[in-house]
Structure 1
Amino acid sequence: MLFRGLTALALVLAANSAVAQDKPADKPAAAKVEKVAPQVRTTRHSGNFGGQKINYSATIGETIISGDDGTQKAAIVTTAYVKEPRDPNRPVTFLFNGGPGSGSVWLQMGAFGPKRVAIPSDARDDGAPPYPIVDNPDSLLDVTDIVFIDPPGTGFSHLIGKTDPKEFYGITADAKAVATVIRRWLNDNGRWNSPKFLGGESYGTTRSAAVVNQLEGETFNDVGLNGILLISTVLDFAAGADTQGNELSYITNLPSMAATALYHGKATSPSVEQFVEEARQFAIGPYATALLKGQKLPAEERTAIRTQLSRFTGLGEAYLEAADLRVTPGRFYKELLRDRGQTVGRLDSRYTGKDYDSAGETPDNDPSFYGIDAGYTAAINSWARGPLGFVTDREYQSISGIGRDWDWRIGGRDTNAYLNVAPYLGTALRENRGLRIFVGQGYYDFATPFFAAEYALSRTGIPQDRVEYHYYHSGHMMYVRDEDRVKLTRDIRAFIRSR
């Protein structure tokens, strides 16, 4: 009986085991995705801006961008300075920096925010801390509320979870995210009918054109703009591409070389304005013609061009002949002051540096960048984590590496496309008769040369009567020079008031 009972039990167990093997295994429970609760901090302040005492709120906070299925994708940090009491009809200006990968620290702590870092104004490096963080009477808060935007991958903004960087790191994807943040801010603050201005610096001008296309050109939920601020402009990338066979960059860089040669005593002229105008006319006329003739350039004409090129660049004719009348900016930085054992800066060629030796073809580094970056990084971290009360263990990305992964395609074209976003601005101007464009350029800027900006914005389809140019005796970040910060903010005040 015992044996027979065990046998029966074994048969039952075996049958149960077979059934168990036929049943699909239970799926493991999906890992619960933690939701990011957006941090928002608001503090109250007062200051004197543009000669007026202004009470204002400062709100630094995260805007969460989610996918169609509700999955959180990115946390985008904005810092908004709003005059109190609030006025729904007061202008509001949305600002960002460039890179791509640059946080808004430069415009916020250098030019337009209520506080700024006081670094040397005379093209000397910023030295070691502490760096003075001072009241900024040049802030635009007397004429407009200001919202600084740090797109994903810049500042404290970041992707959430397993978000694919391709969803945000690209000309169009980035512009869509920024446009979403702007619409969200208008919703949350009841500002849809306020006069609106949009602006950026460097790649931020590229972003401005792409964002305008998203705000006014891609949807029926249009956000009409009154003005666009282009500070150190890059729109047509062919104009500055130092690629063999591209003659355009030699033309657009020449007036900046002339200004730099004059500044460092390698050329003579009564004024920068006069000298760069002469350089413009030479560049677009005889020099352009000579370059286009290539190896068919007659010897007599070549000699005349070489002599004039030496006059404008401050470089010796033997060097220019060896370079085949084509000097890239990198070579110019190294060669101009080689006899003094110095190099000149890319972002601001007023700055000089000293390399390991003087024999190289290009500089070791850019003295106009390493000369100011520490002060700005210290300032934004001190201001945001201190008086503004933002709490995070993330590092503030002044300049991140996301540009390496950037998708440079627009309009479905491949990566070898002729990249030019200026037509976006032309469309916006033609379709919005109230829109105007402010262009601010430094004479000593090789990152975004002023003549390249003029070239890009003078093309067919861009109404010229609503584009205005302003020039400064400094470089890429003209506000590092005290006189130019005052002039820049005065010029923009007038632009906003004249809407």
Structure 2
Amino acid sequence: MMKNLLFLAPLLVFQWVVGQSDQDTLPKAEVFTTMQSVNIDGRTIYLTAQAGTFEVRDEQNKPLALMGHTYYSKGDKREAATRRRPIVFAYNGGPGSSSYWLHMGILGPRRIVVNDPEYTPAAPYQIVNNNFSILDVADLVMIDPVGTGLSVPLGKAEFKDFWGVDQDIKSLSLFIRQFLIANDRMNSPKYLLGESYGTFRNAGLMNRLLKDGIALNGVIMVSAVFDLRTLLFPPEDDLPYIVHFPTYAATAWYHDMIPDKPEDLYAFLDDVRKFTEEEYTPALFKGDRLSAEEKEAMAAKLGAYTGTDPGYWMKANLRVTNGEFFAEFLRDKGEIVGRLDSRFTGINQDLLAQEGSHDPQSSAISPAYTAGFLDYLYRELNVDKNLHYATSAYEREGFKWDWKHVGNERWGTQAAINTGVDLAEAMSRDPYVKVLILNGIYDIATVFYGVEHSINHLGLTPEIRDHIIMKYYEAGHMMYTHPPSMAQFKKDVAEFIRETSR
């Protein structure tokens, strides 16, 4: 026995040395600290800003990833922990987007000024004090998921290990838990704030965190989606056509394409909802059993509500995808409308195209956001200029998302892409958590009627259902590019945090 131990000892020492060497060669977390301030409603708030990376470890305590983030805290670490100041973890979506849109659009101490709903000219861009920041009511952690920003895998982990619904939820839950511990914030009121796919992530992440013993005070959903059927237009599925129709009608209202246009947008949308539920949905459900007369009558109504030719709806068999609507709606004017925000229009270079060629809203604002944020990151937050910031995971070779999600399986295969089940479970098992959902009326990327449908099919008790608060904005997916909506966004989110953190 002693002989065997003596024989193994050199091998064990060799393995330890090699392992130690591997650890030493791993890139290290780096944080760049600066002092920042923001003036909100005449009050100056002084902040410590820490931008850089945080080492996340797996359940076996092995290095898993460097997670890029920017952490804004009021006062020093000890003071923040003592005051129990709320802390918000925020991110954008994609999947595959870094979080500079929310960072520089509405949440952080600086914001980019864009010409909503027109195109913003090239630099110099305006980077101004953000009077609509939430930093007067909470500390803020902007997170870039692995593959975006400065976030990269460590050790044996690869990018593909993070690129999926469940993989993404797991890595962010580990980051949040370990970040809270490292910064003495475990007893602070805690919030998630996600936009677009970030809301899909939110639903799964709030459930995962709860199972790990971390109850949230609130979850904020910006331009939400929980059931991807509402966006994907699957074959022989009428649901996405149904939930998109009210947004098509809202777009027609905005662009004055409706004869005798009603003055009240919200009353108009109530009428459209009623028509969609009581007439359009039953007509689609009949399928090929719908008579020619019934079909023509329905096409006439669809055309009237959307300012389009009834003949187009006849050719489309009463079913128009969002991409088809982008191209058709303003075809006679030689324009297309925006996917993220249908108030924006752009040039249609192919008047025979079946689908829109690009998103005018994205083209109108992306250069300003990208250049403005990178200037702020490297110049004001003092991040090392040698560190590459990936604005999107599409910069990484082989980016591909795994859409499988635990809880979506039936008969041994994936039957859905839906984290609404997680949202329902988390809210039912934590009857105190509240959810704020912010909807852009002109958002054709994640349509408001789709969110309403999902919420109405979660199977929640009335008491829990009342914990979901819906707000609407006369803007699009990024409603914070619209100045009036920017002010409303701040008011709604700040009130939500104050009321749920008492």
Q: Partner residue of 1:431?
A: 429
Match of 2:133 in 1: 139
Residue 139 (structure 1) shift: 0.4
Tell me the SS of whatever aligns to 2:28. Answer: coil
Using the TM superposition, give the Cα deviation of residue 379 of structure 1 relative to its aligned residue in structure 2, in angstroms.
1.7
Q: Say what the alpha-carbon RMSD is for the aligned residues.
A: 2.0
Counting only pairs closer than 5 Å after superposition, residues 143-222 of structure 1 correspond to structure 2 as 143-160=137-154, 163-217=157-211, 219=212, 222=213
TM-score, normalised to structure 1, is 0.90
Alpha-carbon separation, structure 2, partners of 1:307 and 1:426: 39
Deviation digits for residues 373-399 of structure 1, max 9, x if unmatched? 111111221111111111153432223
Q: Of 97, 102, 115, which aligns to 2:97?
A: 102
Structure 1 or 2, whichever has the larger Rg, is: 1
User: Does the CA-based 8 Å contact 1:408-1:415 persist in structure 2?
Assistant: no
- Give the corresponding residue for 2:50: 59
Question: Structure 1 residues 94 and 50, CA, compared in 2 at 3 Å: closer, same or farther?
Answer: farther
1:24 — aligned with what? none
Q: How does 1:207-246 map to 2 (within 5 A)?
A: 207-217=201-211, 219=212, 222-246=213-237
Task: Kindly provide the amino acid, as one letter, of the partner of residue 206 in structure 2.
Answer: V
2:73 match: 82
> Where does structure 1 lack aligned partners over 5 or more consecutive residues?
1-26
How far did residue 35 of structure 1 move?
A: 1.8
Distance 1:424 1:360 in 2: 39
Quote the residue 1:452 is aligned against.
450
Distance apart, 1:461 and its partner CA? 2.6
Aligned CA distance change for structure 1 residues 286 and 93 (closer, same or farther; 3 Å)? same
Letter of the structure 1 residue corresponding to residue 389 of structure 2? Y
TM-score, length basis structure 2:
0.89
Find the aligned partners of 1:69 and 1:248 in 2 and give their Cα distance.
Answer: 43
Please tell me the residue identity of whatever aligns with 1:143: V
Does residue 405 in structure 1 map to residue 406 in structure 2?
Answer: no
3-state SS of 1:372 partner: helix
Q: What is the aligned counterpart of 1:336 among 329, 337, 357? A: 329
Answer whether contact 1:150 1:157 (CA < 8 A) is retained: yes
Tell me if the contact between 2:146 and 2:159 (Cα under 8 Å) persists in the aligned partners: no
- Cα distance in 2 for partners of 1:458, 1:50 equals 38
Aligned to 2:114: 119
**Partner residue of 1:465?**
466
Query: Could you tell me how far 1:41 is from its partner in structure 2?
Result: 1.4
Distance 1:355 1:394, change over 3 A: farther
Measure how far apart 1:419 and its partner are: 1.2
Deviations 1:198-244 (A, max 9, x none): 11000000111111121003x3xx11101100000010111222222
The one-letter code matched in structure 2 to 1:236 is: D
Instruction: Report the Cα distance in structure 2 between the residues aligned to 1:320 and 1:416, rounded to whole angstroms.
Output: 33
Report the 3-state secondary structure (helix = DSSP H, G, I; strand = E; otherwise coil) of the residue aligned with 2:233: coil
Question: Gaps spanning 5+ residues in structure 2: where?
Answer: 1-13
In structure 2, what is the equivalent of residue 17 of structure 1? none
Q: State the secondary structure of the residue aligned to 1:73.
A: strand
**Cross-structure match for 2:267:** 274
CA contact (8 A) 1:240 1:252 kept: no
Distance across 2 between alignment mates of 1:276 and 1:404? 39
Maintained 8 Å contact 2:152/2:159:
no
Equivalent of 1:298 in 291, 303, 317: 291
Pair 1:38–1:212, CA change in 2 (3 A): same
Asked if the contact 1:93/1:147 (under 8 Å) is kept, the reply is yes
Q: Provide the rounded CA distance (Å) in 2 between the counterparts of 1:394 and 1:200.
A: 25
Output the CA distance in 2 between the equivalents of 1:472 and 1:415: 38
Aligned residues: 469
Cα offset, 1:67, TM superposition: 4.5
* 1:351 aligned onto 2:335: no
Provide runs of 4+ in structure 1 moved above 6 Å: 27-31
**Residues 200 and 224 in structure 2, CA contact (< 8 A), matched pair in contact too:** yes
